[in-house]
Amino acid sequence: MALLSADDDYHDWSKYQFSQLSPPVLTCQAVLTETCFLISQNPIGYRLLFSLLKKGLIITNFEIQAYLEEIDTLIHKYSNVPMSFADACLVQLSALYSQAQILTLDSDFFIYRGPKGMPLPVIHPHTHPL
């Protein structure tokens, strides 16, 4: 969301970090839905998001139906956090791609674990300051 909103405190950080990624950036529909909700009052953010999607710079290539058991398990495992559906999808998505990194402002990703209990590879302002 910070990438799509120029008045967000982390806009410049997000813009820089996004520019360092090799396109396409993979995400899931749950994250796009959450993002659209958060920017619902920001028409410029909508235009930017849809521009990135139309250009193929952001893609969704994750079939939620194929990973329902894993997502359900994650949400139950981290119910004390609590873990959102979108977060669970990203954790599962990162388990599928060994080179995956999660670009986020959400510190909950420091709590979540990947396969074999390993910390997730997270791009976050605390680990990647400008």
Q: What is the pTM of this model?
A: 0.93
Write the pLDDT tens digit of every residue in 47-82.
Answer: 999 999 999 999 998 999 999 999 999 999 999 999
Q: Is residue 129 part of a domain?
A: no
Return the CATH number at 79.
Answer: 3.40.50
Residue 100's pLDDT is 92
Q: Is residue 101 part of a domain?
A: yes
Q: Which pLDDT band holds residue 1 (cuts at 50, 70, 90)?
A: confident
Contacts of 82 (CB under 8 A, 6+ apart): 75
Q: Is residue 74 part of a domain?
A: yes
The single-letter code of the amino acid at 61 is: N
Contacts of 56 (CB under 8 A, 6+ apart): 23, 24
Q: Is residue 65 part of a domain?
A: yes
The single-letter code of the amino acid at 57 is: L
Q: Is residue 116 part of a domain?
A: yes
The single-letter code of the amino acid at 47 is: R
Provide the H-helix boundaries in the chain.
Answer: 11-19, 29-38, 43-54, 68-77, 85-96
Round to whole Å and give the CA distance between 58 and 54.
8
For residue 60, list its beta bridge partners: 27
Contacts of 7 (CB under 8 A, 6+ apart): none
Residue with the two structure tokens 């250009």 = 55
Q: Is residue 130 part of a domain?
A: no
Q: Which pLDDT band holds residue 11 (cuts at 50, 70, 90)?
A: very high
Residue 85's pLDDT is 98
Q: Is residue 18 part of a domain?
A: yes
Give the domain range for residue 7.
Answer: 2-123
Write the pLDDT tens digit of every residue in 20-47.
Answer: 999 999 999 999 999 999 999 999 999 9
Write the pLDDT tens digit of every residue in 84-116.
Answer: 999 999 999 999 998 999 999 999 999 999 989
Residue 98's pLDDT is 86
3-state SS assignment for residue 27: strand
For the chain, the domain total comes to: 1
Q: Is residue 112 part of a domain?
A: yes
